[in-house]
Amino acid sequence: MQQTSFVPMSDKTSRYLLLGRLGFAGLWLLQPLWILLLAPPQLGNRYVLLALLWLPLWLPFYGIVKGHAYTLAWANFIVMIYFLHSLTNMWVSTGLHQFLSFVEFALATMMFIGCTYYARYRGQELGLKIPKLKDDPRR
């Protein structure tokens, strides 16, 4: 693995990292609280549901804690699970389930925005680029 020199992070970039981490931490805490304590499901096994909704959040855990821009970028694929879950629950539920769905949606939105813009701005600070198709010599 190649060692890179330390590149300072701008205030804007660190704010997006904080936003992404807060959204992630909120989702990471909300899932077991919701499923095991606040509003357990009426049907099915709660531990299977917990595994389906909580285990994906463990995949980017280390990279989000360390602030790896690449991890925060691909974590947006995982956050789509929580957008879908929250929007579906908002549509079909009432009461506490609907409130928790709004919270989940807000946290997923925070994570998505924070991760997207952190990866973008940190990549620019580090000089990383995604080549444009028009610049590809193979075309």
Predicted TM-score of the model (pTM) = 0.86
Q: How far apart are CA 123 and CA 25, in angstroms?
A: 23
At 1 the pLDDT is 45
Kind and range of the H or E element at 117? helix 95-126
DSSP assigned state of 71:
H
Q: Which of 136, 139, 107 lies closest to 25, judged by CA? A: 107
SS3 30: helix
Domain residue ranges in the chain: 11-128
DSSP 37: I
19-72 tens-digit pLDDT: 999 999 999 999 999 999 998 888 888 999 899 999 999 999 999 999 999 999
